[in-house]
Structure 1
């Protein structure tokens, strides 16, 4: 029997396409699935842009426990920058700080009284081992009392734009556990409160303003008073003596702060850098010490594997049809305008195609005819360029409160000098006669 192979070619092609579809589809679906984070609240942020990549109940105010110490760390760096103290400044331990250090139920390195400790010693113990007493000692050194330091914490939180935030002590402990040492002016039954969004923004500010903080938070263990103290961040590369922790190691991890109380459960503000791209993650109220690192790893994997920081619109971008503005009383009739900086975003897949840009000129600088009035300086801001995401995936915005997400300055590309009085006079005379001629023409037309 002879077969006509031509009849089987279409069927063969259809079969091959179906097989390829079946083979490829599971991987495509898996890559498109959103990450599922088992935490009460979570957030993932691209450090370079401030863009939020993932969010789950990000504005829920929860007790941050020892993640509170990120603010304490910030204020220590600020005091050093302002010359109030130095890393070599020494201080002794108060009765209050000593009582906390002696409490075996609390994080403690075993501080002694009537002994000088440097700021560097206290800071390292706080940042690496999450020591509570050293946090109190630093607060008292900087502000005179923890109560006054708490005022500084809340003032700085407001300055940074941290929403859903309240600080009542420098450590993250519940005030009810402080006995007679509750910071003055705070509720004896209160807890510090911080949302995942604000924790991410606080971490961003610490890293951005004082990047040297990461030189300490990335240390897995160190010596304090002849004893080894260990970092509670299990995602760092711990030594062979801590081989059980190696299962949690995450490439590029170098901070930032863990937290745990019975009320707050287990929380972690982490940050890692891979191939020049840094992410900041926060998980709050997870069920176990292990879970907070497992959920953080899921978040970071999602960010590093599925997102890429891309330049969507370059600096100097000009929108077609709106690249120039008419100028009144200038030696030039128009001036070129363009964006003064590039617009970058953390992009998933082909999302870059879903961004559009539109110009919004400053109406206060323009007359009713839409003209700018000379003189105009080169680089002068004349409006903003608003970038909008129009894709199907959810756009979570930015953690940076002082920057309108997707808004960049629109500036003049050249200077335009004001015309001299003679040319302005000629122009005015010309306009005068033009108006008269137009009036006469309109009048004559009216006769007919």
Structure 2
């Protein structure tokens, strides 16, 4: 009987161990989130230079995004200005709907007078600094004619930018029931949704393609034409209640459905990070949890040189050359590669050489002439462990690629030399064939 009890106890222990492994196994990426103690439904952290993901918690859970969706509205406005479809000085006449929305209680707004003209710049600042909802609608109508058309543009642009797990139903991030019966898309109680990964990718593309967005986002107070000052909802800016060194953006958001959200970006000594915190428990919590994420970034990561300039990949220090005065050419990296990583992680990355197949013959040779500095491919670096979280834009990241070039000139041989080489090769082949035949006789 004692024997059977021991067996049952052993089996029970195995079941407990298996259950623990199963619970942890699929969520390796979130284990670090538990160690940071992030009190929010989802979060993610990026190095802005490369787009490398440094931390994530539930990054693909689809959640309400609230006014953080105005980052897409900002993107489309800035794109329209870049393409000269609208201008900063262009005047926008406020219609009855936008006026009434600007006066709606419990919504973030600057008052917009019906029939009065406001510049695109005024409306953009009202939207970006004080999260003005009516201003966002006015801009959407200016860019696309109607907010409904603009929402179509938002979803199309999201697809173009490679976002996944998203759906836009309006330009503001409000719940549709707050839009005074004027819903552009979706149901009467629908809201914009995105995952933390999609939100981070949008923010990353926004500040990468339109870095000027930071200049407006970092403004602590909006001085509007009505003589009032409207505080930025990003309370981590300098001089505000949760100020944090280096924070200069980007967008907050909150609704009953989305909870409290914040996409932040901060820069110190030339190193910029971007974080997203979604569905925090309170207005203050979205900032305290963002502080934890940014503290983790600035205290644990630093830029390390992974490969030096003129680095030569082991076993591929040269390439064979045909029709040249020399039969090979040395190759090396044109520039060094640096990357943000934790201390001691440098040895966890290896160089990978990718040659330009268009430059090579079917036998893997370059054809002379070859000029010094001529690009023959590139080197990138890849993680050798399974803990790497990858990059926000995917596996291939051009910011972690450096050109591989020829280290010297290889001139083309003249026609006579090439002809003699051809003749020599022909007779060499003939002699080899005859020699093999003779050997077979014996």
- Measured against the shorter chain, the TM-score band is 0.7 to 0.9
Residue of structure 2 equivalent to 1:20: none
**Which stretches in structure 1 are left out of the alignment for 5+ residues?**
1-30, 239-244
The one-character-per-residue Cα deviations of 1:303-355 (angstroms, maximum 9, x if unpaired) are 00110012211343211331110012223311222234432221111111222
Tell me, yes or no, if the aligned pair for 1:41 and 1:58 is still in contact at 8 Å: yes
The one-character-per-residue Cα deviations of 1:77-136 (angstroms, maximum 9, x if unpaired) are 222222222222111112232232121121111211010111111111111110100000
**Cα distance in structure 2, aligned partners of 1:344 and 1:400:** 18
Pairs within 5 Å for 1:326-405? 326-363=320-357, 365-367=359-361, 369-376=363-370, 379-391=373-385, 394-401=387-394, 403-404=396-397
Residue of structure 1 equivalent to 2:10: none
Pairs within 5 Å for 1:26-425? 34-183=35-184, 186-224=186-224, 225-238=226-239, 246=241, 248-363=242-357, 365-367=359-361, 369-376=363-370, 379-391=373-385, 394-401=387-394, 403-404=396-397, 407-414=401-408, 416-425=410-419
Report the TM-score, using the length of structure 2 for normalisation. Answer: 0.86
Cα distance change of structure 1 residues 364 and 120 upon mapping to structure 2, 3 Å threshold: closer
Tell me, yes or no, if the aligned pair for 1:47 and 1:279 is still in contact at 8 Å: yes
**Cα distance in structure 1, aligned partners of 2:180 and 2:264:** 31
Q: CA deviation at 1:152?
A: 2.2
Residue of structure 2 equivalent to 1:242: none
Residue of structure 1 equivalent to 2:5: none
Tell me, yes or no, if the aligned pair for 1:87 and 1:120 is still in contact at 8 Å: yes
**Cα distance in structure 2, aligned partners of 1:341 and 1:158:** 34
**Cα distance in structure 1, aligned partners of 2:408 and 2:158:** 40
Tell me, yes or no, if the aligned pair for 1:161 and 1:401 is still in contact at 8 Å: no
Between 1:368-377 and 1:218-227, the stretch displaced more is: 368-377
Tell me, yes or no, if the aligned pair for 1:267 and 1:284 is still in contact at 8 Å: yes
The one-character-per-residue Cα deviations of 1:405-445 (angstroms, maximum 9, x if unpaired) are 75544333445454333222111111100001111111111
**Cα distance in structure 1, aligned partners of 2:62 and 2:99:** 30
Residue of structure 2 equivalent to 1:3: none
Size of the alignment, in residue pairs? 409
Q: CA deviation at 1:383?
A: 3.5
Residue of structure 2 equivalent to 1:12: none
**Structure 2 counterpart SS, 1:211:** coil
**Structure 1 counterpart SS, 2:38:** coil
**Cα distance in structure 2, aligned partners of 1:315 and 1:203:** 32
Cα distance change of structure 1 residues 364 and 209 upon mapping to structure 2, 3 Å threshold: closer
Q: CA deviation at 1:261?
A: 0.7
**Which stretches in structure 2 are left out of the alignment for 5+ residues?**
1-31
Moved over 6 A (4+): none
Tell me, yes or no, if the aligned pair for 2:300 and 2:342 is still in contact at 8 Å: yes
The one-character-per-residue Cα deviations of 1:171-214 (angstroms, maximum 9, x if unpaired) are 1112243354222x545443222221222222222222222221
Cα distance change of structure 1 residues 188 and 403 upon mapping to structure 2, 3 Å threshold: farther
Q: Does 1:434 align with 2:428?
A: yes
Tell me, yes or no, if the aligned pair for 2:148 and 2:170 is still in contact at 8 Å: yes
Q: CA deviation at 1:74?
A: 1.7
Cα distance change of structure 1 residues 151 and 314 upon mapping to structure 2, 3 Å threshold: farther
**Cα distance in structure 2, aligned partners of 1:63 and 1:409:** 42
Between 1:261-270 and 1:193-202, the stretch displaced more is: 193-202
**Structure 2 counterpart SS, 1:303:** helix
The CA RMSD measured in Å over matched residues stands at: 2.4
